[in-house]
Structure 1
Amino acid sequence: EYDFDYLHIILWKKAEEVIRQGKYKELNGIKVISLETAINEGILYFTPEPKSPHGADIAPRGDYIAVAGKLEPVATVYSADKIWEAIEKKDYEGRDVYGVPILRFDTVKVAQVELGLGPLHTEFDDKGYAYTSLFIDNKIAKWTLGPPYFEGDEAWKVVDKVDIHYNIGHLAAPESNSPSPKGKYVVALNKWSIDRFPILGPLKPQNFQVIDISGEKMKVLIDYPIGIGEPHYAKIIDINKIKALEVYPVGTDPITFNKHPHAINKGEERIERTTIDGKPATIVYATLIRSTITPDIIRVKQGDIVRIYATNVETTPDATHGFSICEYNINASLEPGETATIEFVADKPGVYAFYCSEFCSPLHLEMAGWLIVEPT
């Protein structure tokens, strides 16, 4: 019906102010600004973009937005300054059917760079170059941005292409979407790996290709098969920016990153009989440490809800433990300091082994106990 789709421009600082003013509705605990409010408060604007857009990627200084979609062989580039100016001047070409203002395309667009077939996503380096994946051409195109990066005839120009083996989708350059990209490599996140690796079965791995972009010509350095689903929007950051814990404080719930309300220390292990929602239950407070699970005998009644609060009380790195009851399809992995909740219904009478399922020490096989389910 339309020749264009729309780039959505959201003034998020204005949205923050609207939230502070209480002009929102709360849905499922989330503060939501209605479309009507977004229009009336000047939060949301559209501008035309080529059909079927994929990437909408912002250059490191925040001055350009590159949009690409596989149905057009170009990257359409918008100027952030021109967008601001058009908003201030209310330079609209009209409104959509819901009343959202549409900024005039030729006012905010600064360039359309012909890249090749099926352009999707764009990353940036620290020298003013952009790198766009070409899904149909199976290539990455390297091209120049405009002022202040490049001037005159050197601006908005394709300077190199490199062949990618098959169906590139997303790509990643170190800290591309930041004020200080690192600019030495691009990683092609390819969807499949036909004819690339030895055949080990019908399922083909995804394939990453690491490309050196430090010189005038791009160069593929290595293929790297990945045994996960199709990669989307992976980001590469400086490892020095990661300030990770090596061991959780004992009793941490990794989901909330707070102290688990039922965490215990060594010596506080116990088993309690109670009810949950009116049903009989056995609550177990357990600890795991090389090479013991305490308590090592858990006695319950058939039909009980069994809830185990298991705390790995280790304080040294690489002391991960598991808790497994294979007949009940239970297998939990607990990192050092972690507390996890394990729950099931003991509906099968009998005696079942539970054990550590993560190799943890020379006495790993001794780290076991027994679940006794007494018939009713």
Structure 2
Amino acid sequence: MLITRRVTNEKELEKIFRERYRIFVERDKDAPIELYPNGIMKDKCDDDAIHIACYDSLNASLLGFLSVVLKLEDKIKLPIEEQHDLFIEIGTAEIMRLIIIENKNIKLKGHILNGLLKEIGNVVREYNLKRLFLVTTKEAYNIYVKIGFRQIGPYRLYKNISNECPMSFSFPYYPNTILKLPFESFDDYLNNQKAKRRWDIKNKQKIFSEQGCSIEVIQNSKINEEDFSILYELYANTEKDNFETINYQHYCDCDKFQSFKYLTDDFIWIIAKLNGKIIGFALLVHDESKLTLKHVGLDYSVNRQTYSYFNLFYRAIKFGIDNHYRYIICGSTTYGLKVSLGCELIDRTAYISIDKSKSEDVSDLYNLTLGGNL
């Protein structure tokens, strides 16, 4: 049985640093011997690094290890930054000195690597890291590519001994969802669904109607002043009920939410009502040939029995088809529902890469705020 854990004990750390020396300095000759005269391969960054090791639970023998150097402040310089002349943002980390000690059991080596990667995952979540970095030789390059790293710079000699390239791993952001609309009508859209899904949509529409519900599509300029307060409450309900979802824009009070009334009729409200009372909305944004589903708000006291959330989507789809939009960007929540309605998941990753060697002025980036739409 394998045990993977973080190492803080001085004697255990010394054993790791001596094993590093044996492999990196003596065996592979990837580091100059004169830097480590005492046979211990320990660098200055190791004092603050997180050291992770994998052990055999039966005899406590060391099977593999690595170190993670965190960059949580601007003043911290990762070794990869100096070696490859990179500018790396805070909220990242460098993986260093990954070793799986010689073992003929290929399957066991895979388990050791998997255990080390899982603990890196725990570090990523604990410190909310955005990217991981490392440097590698050509011999180990393909292993890191399979894990998901990509090369971000040319090979350079480390201390005139080891030829290494920088690599990074960016964590995929929540995927977006897009529904393409190559349909002549909503009936045409339904006919393109499987029979079970088609019946489910029609049944939810029937229940919605039988409950006394209706839907209106209203241009932004036609929304009544007093209705904005109701819409804000529904929006706040949804934000509170889905606190783990990622949203670029939060409205902390009704006054800020009412700023929508100053916008153009490119903003379109789909309003669900129960016996004349507003119980839900979906806000669509027109942009040439596409629609973006910007916000949704729901009255959760009646949402389940009326299927108002589903029916807001159905009406948004119908609106898009009737007005000849090519597709709807549906956002990064409720993936199950959206995929069932025909949406595709669109992976996305975001990061800033700066080539320090070009002497670019990056001072403005410290005050940069990034955003977008869901």
Q: Give TM-score scaled by structure 1 length.
A: 0.25
- The answer to which structure, 1 or 2, has the higher relative contact order (CA under 8 A, 6+ apart) is 2
Greater per-residue helix proportion: 2
Q: Give TM-score scaled by structure 2 length.
A: 0.25
Greater per-residue strand proportion: 1
